[in-house]
Structure 1
Amino acid sequence: MAMAMAKGKEPMVRAEEEEGEGTGWADAITNLSEEQPAASFCASGRRGTEDEAGKEKWKGEAGKERLEDGEERGTGFVLIELHKVGEVLVEVGSTSSSTHGWGPSAIETEEELEGAIERLREVASRRGKADVSVIRRRTTVVDDAEAKTRYHMADVEVRRQQGGGHLEVRIAVVGNVDSGKSTMVGVLTRSMLDDGRGSAREKVLKFTHEAQTGRTSSIGQHNLCISSTGEILNDSSFRQTQCGDVVAKASKLITFVDLAGHEKYFKTTAFGLTGNLPDYAMLIIGANHGLIGMCKEHLGIALALKIPSFFVITKVDICPEHVFENTMKSLHAILKKPGVKKIPIMVRNQDDVMTCARNLSSDTIAPIFLTSSVTGEGLDLLRQFLNLVPQRYEWFSKMSKEPEFIIDETFAVPGVGTVVSGTLKSGSIGVNDTLLLGPDVADSSFKPTSVKSIHYKRMVVDKAVAGQTAALALKKVKRNQVRKGQALVSSRLQPKAAWEFDADIAILTHSTTIHLKYQAVIHCEIIRQAAKVVAMDCEKLRSGDRAIVRFRFLVRPEYVIRGTRFIFREGKTKGIGMVI
């Protein structure tokens, strides 16, 4: 009966609303004006003051090391970034005072530039166990009062050797049905081209009915393995079920979270965008269809969750020119609206790739790639971009905290027992560690359990650290005792399940007014459950309003974490919030 209640509260989200514009996620955000309180909520970033303070701390320590070691400019910063993240993009010979500069600031000859790159390669190899790959060389002319001087510079990627996949960037793949999402994932992770009849997507689809219909209905994770020198390790013989050997050789992993595009599976897509903690969203748009149906809905969800997005226009080889122009006009129009305010950048060369890779995490630009999975057009630029794009989350600062693991999938493996998979949000988990599992299905308590073994990307490992997605085998836990939405946390955190939580919310769109006892479906990371409003700091809410409210779950208590951004929906009502 409780399950029936939960299912009854989940509304069907239509691809195209019948009562005019302003009812979808994207329309609700793009129609906000700066005078509305909800607009300020959408404009606030996802990073907190803690991350900014951490950045300043590491900048200070990097500067201190530069002064002490007496080596060339930027050495301390490079070594700190390699230790924290595993990679860093630096400018050799930069004439500006940028933090990412390394070596002499004014290099006038190519021989001197090559010498500086060799010195950086020696420092990276000796002190950071990293490889150096030159992305591009360029020159700039400075016009002084006396004469013009030509300076030489190079953009160089420094990446740790075989980091065991510790450097992982998660990218959610979203877009309308039949736009080519799974095909693009198959082309990228198998280093092959599509035949136009679904040969690439057959490599990545999980279920038989997906292959028969050509439509993804579940959440699939697929890995693109990149070496320390930027080489793609995946080939046409790559198998997801046997990827451990390739992952072990990789220094950087791009994890594509392939999500469903059909309106029937919208709640699954929303779960993937909130629960899998993606660094970025890759919005796939069919050039011959444009921004229709769920494409705009998925864009609106990414905007509401403050997930930086980039756009891949597929099927450019079969799209008529006038249809392609209309698609681009509608995309540019959405990106320039007040609620979005992103700068569209058409990626046509390597300079555009560098600009977008450096600035994507700031969430102010919107790179646009023109591709074809059949002819291969534009795929090289997309691969270069994926090689350079950095992690968005500051996982290094969270590794020293208490472990907190959120569960998004459960399994019963013969001969092993109960296995849970999910994302480690903080701390580290090792084999035989004892953690609290909850909220319990029966009494909502947190009960101790031990970790029997850990798998990361189908590799047996001794420890998982913050930022990684892993699978944990649990001791003496039955399959019916675990579910999606639970968490494994340290006993020092003293976790408790909550029936109610307070949140700062903003109403994006609602047909009338919202009062007490209003009910909606909450999507808060791995939590997906119906809840009702039991208290609010005002009498009623309308579209564009912002308020502090108290939600109460209708089915079971959940482990809710302060500071988490979430979305809620009910029919045509859409809203976003932050747990306080």
Structure 2
Amino acid sequence: MAATLDATLTHVTARRVAPHRAVAEVYIRKLADTQQSVELRVAVMGANEAGKSTLIGVLTQGELDNGRGSARLNMFRHLHEVKSGRTSSLSHEILGFDAQGNVVNYGCSELMTAERIGERSAKLVSFLDLAGHSKYQRTTLHGLSGYCPHRAMLLISATAGITRITEEHLGLLLALDLPFFAVISKCDIAAAGVQPVLRRLAELLQPHNKRPLLITDENLARNCVAPQNLILDTIDNGEDEDTPKKEEESSMERVCVFPVSCVRGSGLNALHAYLLALQPPNTRHTTQQESCEFQIDEIFHVGESAGPVVGGLMARGQLYEGDNLIIGPFETGEFRRISVRTIYRNRARCGGVRAGHCASLGLAIPPGERGGMRLRAGMVLLGVPEGEAGKPMKFGACVGACKSNDQAKEIVLNHQQSRDKSKNRKNVRRKNKNLLQDIANVESSLTKTIDNDQNIYKSDSEGVDKIEDAYRSDSDCEKDKLSEGECTCRDAVLLEDPNNPRGCMFFQASVHVLRHSTAIYPGFQCTVHVGNVRQTAIIEGILSRNNEVRAGCGASLVFRFARAPEYLVTGRRLLLTAGQGTRGIGRVTQVFPYVP
């Protein structure tokens, strides 16, 4: 009966009252329907002290701020955040709307927990509060890369205006091609600062064919989600000289800007209407039909007897309670079997999750693996392969035309010998350009280097060969010199086997450097963000003529993880950072399975 009602039945106590009669006490819990609500993930970005946590607190709690940060107290997770007022970790809050468009977080007498909000909501908006201080930039980048937000809300203070950190966050959003809208906070104490912010924002967005649009009422907020041509815009007023300018402005993409005040409450209704009208991208027919992949971001240990609890994002496929999966990669690059015991979404138990949902999974570790299975953030849960798991790696011919390349050949084979050697590098000074100017040609650079419709392993116009040659033997290279055009590297190249997934230590990516003070040479250490993976990597090779890459240029780089193998998928976006002055963006083009 409980299964028919989509509920779970838990046995509590039982007492026998007669030889053939007994009384049992059970606990029945209704499972949350995974299809009943639409979830929209919004990343909140902006400079420190712009009011990000305060705005999230006002939107989700329904109480205005007192001007001294009372609304942001529930957003903080650590004591030092309360004392300093700066967010240093990722925090989540949800805003629910019912079928009539009313906010369900408040407006009733009972206490609304996250579980009740999820049950009564037809649409959920999940806010991801990111850190704004430059000290916690790695946490901010990890939130953008690991949680895959559908939209971004860029907060700008009317008192401080657009600062350097604001320009940096804006540049990241433009480089990632992530849809976003802006919110100007603190308009109650600096109403005159709205227009200067709009003018500066228009200057920054103009090179990217975008322009800001000020939203002050609810009707305009609903219409800007699905733009419609107004009747007044089609009437000829006889001013022919302004016609080309109007046509140019109409072709530019609009970025909505909301002036709000968390103390007086002005502009919050328009922002609520806009969030209600936004819809997440439709990935139901693509990622849900693929194999299961759950990216692990956090790990919790509830008790000694219970198994670990992992939290993260369902990247593709579907997952249900009781499914048998494989988890990894471990230090040897292999995956091990595990099963799912329970699934929770928004602190409410549910029977399953689908692609695009954030959830927490209770895992059941096999008895023989409890002592040696050490889980860490960055691992993934995959579906059990259909073929035989654990079989030896396959070797075969490489993809594309075979050519000898000594530079790519020495990248992997000789990295152990050159690991302790230091190279004399010349420091070449260059002018520090604006980040937005450096990323003006990012899209064209990535399109030129990575073309999904063509073979990504072919050499480019500069004569740079593919990295598969690094796994070829000397005899094969000699044969290529005698017979060009024929693939003779059979049984020399490691191939990815979908029936035997493994982690990788080496991978190749096409990267466009957005900002760096000098040139980047082999041996450069940086932090790589690919999905839920965040680890230090070493550039072992740069496939270019000068063996270097500078700001504003792109090249194919060979990376090596410094600590442990990771699971990467070809085609995923990559973020590269080093300190506070280096930024790079690209995509993974080749993964080499790790075999110890």
For the aligned pair, the TM-score class normalised by the smaller chain equals 0.5 to 0.7
In structure 1, C-alpha distance between the alignment counterparts of 2:539 and 2:319, rounded to whole Å: 37
In structure 2, C-alpha distance between the alignment counterparts of 1:552 and 1:333, rounded to whole Å: 39
Q: Give the conservation status (yes or no) of the 8 Å contact 2:34–2:352.
A: no
Give, as a single letter, the amino acid of the residue that structure 1 aligns with 2:199: K
Give, as a single letter, the amino acid of the residue that structure 1 aligns with 2:327: L
User: Judging changes above 3 Å, is the alpha-carbon distance between structure 1 residues 306 and 239 closer, same or farther for their aligned structure 2 residues?
Assistant: farther
In structure 1, C-alpha distance between the alignment counterparts of 2:375 and 2:110, rounded to whole Å: 29
In structure 1, C-alpha distance between the alignment counterparts of 2:297 and 2:257, rounded to whole Å: 31
Give, as a single letter, the amino acid of the residue that structure 2 aligns with 1:330: R
Q: Give the conservation status (yes or no) of the 8 Å contact 2:34–2:353.
A: no
Is residue 207 of structure 1 aligned with residue 97 of structure 2? Answer: no
Q: Give the conservation status (yes or no) of the 8 Å contact 2:47–2:132.
A: yes
1:545-564 matches, cutoff 5 A: 545-564=553-572
Is residue 568 of structure 1 aligned with residue 568 of structure 2? Answer: no
Shift of 1:397: 2.3
Is residue 347 of structure 1 aligned with residue 215 of structure 2? Answer: yes
**Of 285, 292, 299, which aligns to 1:410?**
299
Q: Give the match for residue 136 of structure 2.
A: 265
1:18-167 matches, cutoff 5 A: 166-167=37-38
Q: Give the match for residue 536 of structure 1.
A: 542
In structure 2, C-alpha distance between the alignment counterparts of 1:266 and 1:237, rounded to whole Å: 39
In structure 2, C-alpha distance between the alignment counterparts of 1:554 and 1:240, rounded to whole Å: 48
Q: Give the match for residue 224 of structure 2.
A: 356
Give, as a single letter, the amino acid of the residue that structure 2 aligns with 1:533: I
In structure 1, C-alpha distance between the alignment counterparts of 2:252 and 2:145, rounded to whole Å: 17
User: Judging changes above 3 Å, is the alpha-carbon distance between structure 1 residues 478 and 299 closer, same or farther for their aligned structure 2 residues?
Assistant: farther
In structure 1, C-alpha distance between the alignment counterparts of 2:42 and 2:80, rounded to whole Å: 25
In structure 1, C-alpha distance between the alignment counterparts of 2:70 and 2:380, rounded to whole Å: 38
Larger gyration radius, structure 1 or structure 2: 2
SS in 2 for 1:449: strand
Q: Give the match for residue 419 of structure 1.
A: 309
Q: Give the match for residue 523 of structure 1.
A: 529
Q: Give the match for residue 470 of structure 1.
A: 359
Q: Give the conservation status (yes or no) of the 8 Å contact 2:323–2:339.
A: yes
Residues 431-487 of structure 1: CA deviation (Å, up to 9, x unaligned)? 1111111112x4332111001111011111111111110000111257971111110
User: Judging changes above 3 Å, is the alpha-carbon distance between structure 1 residues 479 and 270 closer, same or farther for their aligned structure 2 residues?
Assistant: farther
Q: Give the match for residue 375 of structure 1.
A: 264
SS in 2 for 1:481: coil
Give, as a single letter, the amino acid of the residue that structure 1 aligns with 2:376: R
**Of 505, 508, 512, which aligns to 2:511?**
505
In structure 1, C-alpha distance between the alignment counterparts of 2:107 and 2:301, rounded to whole Å: 31
Shift of 1:230: 1.0
Give, as a single letter, the amino acid of the residue that structure 1 aligns with 2:65: D
Q: Give the conservation status (yes or no) of the 8 Å contact 1:190–1:236.
A: no
Shift of 1:392: 2.6
Q: Give the conservation status (yes or no) of the 8 Å contact 2:33–2:350.
A: no
Uncovered stretches (5+) of structure 2, i.e. residues with no partner: 1-31, 229-250, 386-497, 590-596
In structure 2, C-alpha distance between the alignment counterparts of 1:522 and 1:394, rounded to whole Å: 26
User: Judging changes above 3 Å, is the alpha-carbon distance between structure 1 residues 164 and 176 closer, same or farther for their aligned structure 2 residues?
Assistant: same
Structure 1 or 2: more helix by fraction: 1
SS in 1 for 2:224: helix
User: Judging changes above 3 Å, is the alpha-carbon distance between structure 1 residues 568 and 233 closer, same or farther for their aligned structure 2 residues?
Assistant: same
SS in 2 for 1:209: helix
In structure 1, C-alpha distance between the alignment counterparts of 2:292 and 2:316, rounded to whole Å: 5
Shift of 1:363: 10
**Of 286, 296, 310, which aligns to 2:181?**
310
In structure 2, C-alpha distance between the alignment counterparts of 1:495 and 1:298, rounded to whole Å: 35
SS in 1 for 2:226: helix
**Of 326, 329, 333, which aligns to 2:196?**
326
Give, as a single letter, the amino acid of the residue that structure 2 aligns with 1:329: R
Residues 505-549 of structure 1: CA deviation (Å, up to 9, x unaligned)? 111122232232232211111111121222333122222212222
**Of 286, 292, 304, which aligns to 1:397?**
286
Residues 278-311 of structure 1: CA deviation (Å, up to 9, x unaligned)? 0011011111011114222222222222211110
SS in 2 for 1:455: strand
In structure 1, C-alpha distance between the alignment counterparts of 2:269 and 2:78, rounded to whole Å: 30
User: Judging changes above 3 Å, is the alpha-carbon distance between structure 1 residues 551 and 515 closer, same or farther for their aligned structure 2 residues?
Assistant: same
Report % sequence identity. Answer: 34
TM-align CA RMSD: 2.5
Q: Give the match for residue 485 of structure 1.
A: 378
Is residue 451 of structure 1 aligned with residue 321 of structure 2? Answer: no
Q: Give the match for residue 329 of structure 2.
A: 439
Shift of 1:320: 5.3
In structure 2, C-alpha distance between the alignment counterparts of 1:422 and 1:429, rounded to whole Å: 13
In structure 2, C-alpha distance between the alignment counterparts of 1:402 and 1:169, rounded to whole Å: 23
Uncovered stretches (5+) of structure 1, i.e. residues with no partner: 1-160
Shift of 1:348: 2.3
Q: Give the match for residue 20 of structure 1.
A: none
Shift of 1:164: 5.7
Residues 359-412 of structure 1: CA deviation (Å, up to 9, x unaligned)? 69x993311000000111110000000001010352442112111000111111
Give, as a single letter, the amino acid of the residue that structure 2 aligns with 1:342: K
Shift of 1:223: 0.5
Q: Give the conservation status (yes or no) of the 8 Å contact 1:162–1:250.
A: no
SS in 2 for 1:499: strand
Residues 55-75 of structure 1: CA deviation (Å, up to 9, x unaligned)? xxxxxxxxxxxxxxxxxxxxx
Give, as a single letter, the amino acid of the residue that structure 2 aligns with 1:547: A
In structure 1, C-alpha distance between the alignment counterparts of 2:505 and 2:165, rounded to whole Å: 32
Give, as a single letter, the amino acid of the residue that structure 2 aligns with 1:496: R
Q: Give the conservation status (yes or no) of the 8 Å contact 2:316–2:356.
A: yes
In structure 2, C-alpha distance between the alignment counterparts of 1:573 and 1:240, rounded to whole Å: 46
User: Judging changes above 3 Å, is the alpha-carbon distance between structure 1 residues 458 and 239 closer, same or farther for their aligned structure 2 residues?
Assistant: farther
In structure 2, C-alpha distance between the alignment counterparts of 1:203 and 1:530, rounded to whole Å: 33
In structure 1, C-alpha distance between the alignment counterparts of 2:567 and 2:71, rounded to whole Å: 39
Q: Give the conservation status (yes or no) of the 8 Å contact 1:163–1:252.
A: no
SS in 2 for 1:398: coil
SS in 2 for 1:261: coil
SS in 1 for 2:125: strand
User: Judging changes above 3 Å, is the alpha-carbon distance between structure 1 residues 253 and 363 closer, same or farther for their aligned structure 2 residues?
Assistant: farther
